[in-house]
Structure 1
Amino acid sequence: MSDSSSTEMLTAILRTEIAALEPGDRLPSSRELIARHGVGPVTVSRAIALLAAEGMVVTRPGSGTYVAARRRPGPDEGPPDTSWQTVALAGRAFDPGGAANGPLEELPPGTIPLSGGYLHESLQPTRELSSALARAARRPDAWHRAPVSGLTPLCALFARQAGNDVSPEDVLVTGGGQGALSMLFRALAAPGSPVLVESPTYPGALAAARAAGLRPVAVPMDSDGIRPDLLADAFAMTGARLLYCQPTFHNPTGTVLAPDRRRQVVDVARAAGAFLIEDDFARHLGHGGTPVPRPLVADDRQGTVVHLTSLTKPASPSLRIGALIARGPVMQRLRGMRQVDDFFTARPLQEAAVELLSTPAWDRHLRALATALRARSTALATALAQELPDWTLTRHPAGGLHLWLRLPAHLTDTAVADAARLHGVSVDAGHRYFPTDPPASHLRLGFAAAADPADLTEAAHRLATATHILPRA
């Protein structure tokens, strides 16, 4: 059991016990709690700290931990009244869209996660990250202010990853990918403007675009990626000056934009006088055996492509380090927005990223990750074919963290998602990935967040059990 789950379990037990005590009653000592619950001293310390932060207990050094006085509302106090905020927020609409029910939601104990988009802890380079952070913290300037654009060695590493003649001066280090995406939408288009997106697409991009006041416009995909002919039509009809796309291991379908289309898509955007946001989140998530195509930005010298990448997917959700690559006046705008938003990305994390990416351990991690992801993808696809043969796997992806499945006509994605949750499996309903009405019901099933590959087979069995009792639509 992980430290975090042990802490959560002990905290829940203590909350129940505190509810039966009176204010001023003394809790068992740390030694007693360790012996009674079979946990370590760190777990007890963390649980007590959480309860103290919640105001449930008070600690008295040298004396012990006691139940805190319970605040009771006075005779004239009613429930809090926040109705005034409805008026204050009028005209400031915010639609979280795809952010709802996303990868940050808490799941009930025992649930097998096929939702979300991060690696399980067992797939993360935890030891390497800890070592990198420790080495970074020992640097004399580790806590100095970082440059707005990012540390030069880190910018150079991201530039080298992009390839061709991308230089460190073209790089802006960011605090992960999602915040950078939000900044791009605000920087590249005015509120009320259209933004072209693949259909389906990443819900977080739809949420960020709508939060920036933009109107997502769907451009259909096929098995080779976004269609250049329909993209040109969409630019002509909408007057859009911005395209968001994921050319490599697209989320949710896993599609890789075909070689002959990669140049076409950039040319269509350039002819429209538009920017192309290339979300390259999955560059390090290939499953091995097939070379990952180089990013679109590597072959773009005119500044059409604005490239976005991040280390959170292949490393850890808490390594909030990403990068934007852009050429021309737009980079000056992005640097200016960075100074308005948050000045710079935390230097210790940047230093740790440099340490991590500069060692052979990073390449070893990526090779091991590719093998593990390929095995997990195959295991889940095989289990689904056996348990649910009428579900259609749209492709067996060569990279990424998900499978994209089309459901039979008699099932809806929301009904399946709700039934799955009741049977201990979390899945992502497909309608969230479409900017307009979806053409059919789909599910996105992740294979990287489960604790053990064997859980994927069990998850497929639970899904079959859940859906077999659903009424036909």
Structure 2
Amino acid sequence: MNNSSSDRIVTALRDWIASAPAGAQLPSTRSLVAEHGASPVTVQKALRTLIGQGVVESRPGVGTFVCAPRTARPHDYGWQTSALGAPRHRLPHISPAMRTAPQDAIALHSGYPDKELLPERLVRTALARASRGDAALSRSPAAGLPELRSWFAAELGAAAPAGVSSPAASDVIVLPGSQSGLSSLFRTLVGPGNPVLIESPSYWGAILAAAQVGVRLVPVPSGPHGPDPGDVDRAFARTGARAFYAQPSFTNPTGALWPAAVAERVLAAVRRHGAFLIEDDWAHDFGIDADAAPLAARDDSGHVVYLRSLTKSVSPSIRVAGLIARGPARDRILADTQAEAMYVSGLLQAAALDVVTHPAWRTHLRALRGQLASRRDLLAAAIAEHAPAAHLDAVPRGGLNLWLRLPDHTDLPRLTRDCEAEGVIIAAGDDWFPAEPTGRYLRLNYSGPNPGAFPEAARIIGSALSGSALSG
């Protein structure tokens, strides 16, 4: 029997329960099977649903009975105010980009690719294979599986220019996703109360991690071609910061890819000030018209600490990332991550390794490039046609997002509400600024589901912009 049969029985029983006294016994499973023409499995599923809802209770060997109604009463948690005290750091709210959208909505807000852009067959096969291996029952080494660490090192080493030594597997630490890595890096390389430079706009998750640790963010303006290296140099000199968090390849949210000259000058400033560059290579696998160009591949002196996640490109359920650091910094980071999480699930590491070392992985990435290109171009063209007031400074050469500048008088909260009322979920750009926003922006994800609906979504956004979403 299908789910609708179970739901039908649940509805019928709830009607019966509504007029039954507390403690009344429900008809037996056999009676319900006969009454509803359903299988015993379907009836049992309906009963489990009702038990989960707290309206009936099962007494083994006796039967199923209507629960006594519970009188709702307000709870007083005021005592916790004194026990908890004031928070040391007030954390920003979780970004709307993490919202789960209604099934029938056009979702342009998320930071994750749609399921059809993932290597589904490889992931399912890898998880099944890993579950049958030793990784399912054994503890992983604290720094990660040696084979996966070697893969991360080799991937970065392949981009190293002549004269720069490639990283070794011993430089790699495997993490349970990049978000935990950011928290660890801010704790170990910066420390609470100390300044860290950050591009503005930048990844909201990094802003959240910094707030969690209590580091002081120093915004550095960053545009379609990255930050001005002179601004970076002056910010280091002015603040005494010892780290700069950046995304040189397809920055989230702008999609910027730093030109080689900018990358070299920023790296020179980092070295000159004896600082670290925390490089978040989140979009390494999402190049479209260009490939990611990690700065870490140009540095073998330990100034660049490199972070690459597989969560978005392999599967959101495989939260595995690699962090590459050299020298004492690596030892300090490993001690922190081990204290925080002990080790990363060997099962997930084995599955991730299986996927990225399979010959079909490269084939998948080549096809993904074309799929992202067509989605990006479709959404960009639709916005240009139906929402010309939303200005795209530059078409991103990779990544997952369009970063749109809106008229200065746009009422962003009202715009998002108006669009959502029409079935389009969008992400206002304010969350990507570490300080006050410098304008009104939208971040639209072109890798989400149902790209055929992009023109309709653009029409709705354009209508909202030109109508009720504008104030003043």
TM-score interval, normalised by the smaller of the two chains: 0.7 to 0.9
Alignment of 1:63-462 (within 5 A): 68-72=67-71, 78-97=73-92, 99-103=94-98, 105-163=99-157, 164=160, 165-287=166-288, 289-293=289-293, 295-450=294-449, 452-462=450-460
**Deviation of 1:233 (Å):** 0.7
**Deviation of 1:21 (Å):** 6.3
Q: Check 1:240–1:16 CA distance in 2 against 1; reply closer, same or farther (3 A cut).
A: farther
CA contact (8 A) 1:423 1:462 kept: yes
Distance (Å, rounded) in 2 between the aligned partners of 1:93 and 1:27: 56
Could you tell me the TM-score, scaled by structure 2's length? 0.88
Distance (Å, rounded) in 2 between the aligned partners of 1:388 and 1:72: 52
Q: Check 1:65–1:149 CA distance in 2 against 1; reply closer, same or farther (3 A cut).
A: farther
Aligned residue type for 2:79: W
Aligned residue type for 1:285: F
Distance (Å, rounded) in 2 between the aligned partners of 1:244 and 1:341: 21
Moved more, 92-101 or 163-172: 92-101
**Tell me, what secondary structure is at the counterpart of 1:102?**
helix
**Tell me, what secondary structure is at the counterpart of 2:96?**
coil
Distance (Å, rounded) in 2 between the aligned partners of 1:312 and 1:95: 27
- Could you list the per-position Cα deviations for residues 203-239 of structure 1 after superposition, in whole angstroms to 9, with x for gaps in the alignment? 1111110110111111011331011100111111111
Moved more, 372-381 or 87-96: 87-96
**Tell me, what secondary structure is at the counterpart of 2:231?**
helix
**Deviation of 1:420 (Å):** 1.4
- Could you list the per-position Cα deviations for residues 40-63 of structure 1 after superposition, in whole angstroms to 9, with x for gaps in the alignment? x79995x87666455445456799
CA contact (8 A) 2:411 2:471 kept: no
Aligned residue type for 1:322: A
CA contact (8 A) 1:423 1:466 kept: no
- Could you list the per-position Cα deviations for residues 318-359 of structure 1 after superposition, in whole angstroms to 9, with x for gaps in the alignment? 110001100000111111112211110001101111111111
Q: Check 1:135–1:80 CA distance in 2 against 1; reply closer, same or farther (3 A cut).
A: same
**Deviation of 1:92 (Å):** 2.2
**Tell me, what secondary structure is at the counterpart of 1:220?**
strand
Distance (Å, rounded) in 2 between the aligned partners of 1:89 and 1:69: 36
CA contact (8 A) 1:419 1:467 kept: no
Aligned residues: 456
Distance (Å, rounded) in 2 between the aligned partners of 1:43 and 1:292: 54
Q: Check 1:140–1:236 CA distance in 2 against 1; reply closer, same or farther (3 A cut).
A: closer
Distance (Å, rounded) in 2 between the aligned partners of 1:423 and 1:98: 25
Aligned residue type for 2:337: R
Distance (Å, rounded) in 1 between the aligned partners of 2:43 and 2:454: 30
**Tell me, what secondary structure is at the counterpart of 2:82?**
helix
Moved more, 321-330 or 403-412: 403-412
**Tell me, what secondary structure is at the counterpart of 2:180?**
helix
- Could you list the per-position Cα deviations for residues 160-217 of structure 1 after superposition, in whole angstroms to 9, with x for gaps in the alignment? 1112311111100000111111111111112111111001001111111011011111
**Tell me, what secondary structure is at the counterpart of 2:150?**
helix
CA contact (8 A) 1:254 1:397 kept: yes
Aligned residue type for 2:267: V
5+ unaligned residues in a row in structure 1: which ranges?
none
Distance (Å, rounded) in 2 between the aligned partners of 1:111 and 1:186: 39
Distance (Å, rounded) in 1 between the aligned partners of 2:463 and 2:62: 54
Aligned residue type for 1:422: A
Distance (Å, rounded) in 1 between the aligned partners of 2:366 and 2:31: 44
- Could you list the per-position Cα deviations for residues 370-420 of structure 1 after superposition, in whole angstroms to 9, with x for gaps in the alignment? 211111111111111111112101211111111000002331322222221
CA contact (8 A) 1:197 1:217 kept: yes
Could you tell me the TM-score, scaled by structure 1's length? 0.88
Distance (Å, rounded) in 1 between the aligned partners of 2:138 and 2:265: 45
**Deviation of 1:94 (Å):** 3.8
Distance (Å, rounded) in 1 between the aligned partners of 2:173 and 2:86: 33
**Deviation of 1:110 (Å):** 2.1
**Deviation of 1:20 (Å):** 4.1
Distance (Å, rounded) in 1 between the aligned partners of 2:307 and 2:348: 18
Aligned residue type for 2:413: T
Q: Check 1:254–1:25 CA distance in 2 against 1; reply closer, same or farther (3 A cut).
A: farther
Distance (Å, rounded) in 2 between the aligned partners of 1:434 and 1:130: 37
Q: Check 1:466–1:170 CA distance in 2 against 1; reply closer, same or farther (3 A cut).
A: same
Aligned residue type for 1:460: A
5+ unaligned residues in a row in structure 2: which ranges?
161-165
Distance (Å, rounded) in 2 between the aligned partners of 1:447 and 1:62: 55
- Could you list the per-position Cα deviations for residues 70-105 of structure 1 after superposition, in whole angstroms to 9, with x for gaps in the alignment? 4335xxxx41111222223324244332624231x2
Distance (Å, rounded) in 2 between the aligned partners of 1:64 and 1:186: 56
CA contact (8 A) 1:282 1:400 kept: yes
What is aligned with 2:163?
A: none
Q: Check 1:30–1:188 CA distance in 2 against 1; reply closer, same or farther (3 A cut).
A: farther
> Computing the radius of gyration over CA atoms, which structure comes out larger, 1 or 2?
2
- Could you list the per-position Cα deviations for residues 290-337 of structure 1 after superposition, in whole angstroms to 9, with x for gaps in the alignment? 3332x1111111111110111111122111000110000011111111
Distance (Å, rounded) in 2 between the aligned partners of 1:162 and 1:389: 40
**Deviation of 1:363 (Å):** 1.4
Q: Check 1:124–1:236 CA distance in 2 against 1; reply closer, same or farther (3 A cut).
A: same
Distance (Å, rounded) in 2 between the aligned partners of 1:127 and 1:31: 44
CA RMSD, Structure 1 to Structure 2 (Å): 3.2
Aligned residue type for 1:252: P
**Tell me, what secondary structure is at the counterpart of 1:166?**
coil
CA contact (8 A) 1:119 1:313 kept: yes
Distance (Å, rounded) in 2 between the aligned partners of 1:222 and 1:300: 24
Distance (Å, rounded) in 2 between the aligned partners of 1:464 and 1:16: 48
CA contact (8 A) 1:95 1:207 kept: no
Distance (Å, rounded) in 2 between the aligned partners of 1:147 and 1:429: 41
Query: Kindly, what percent of the aligned residue pairs are identical?
Result: 38
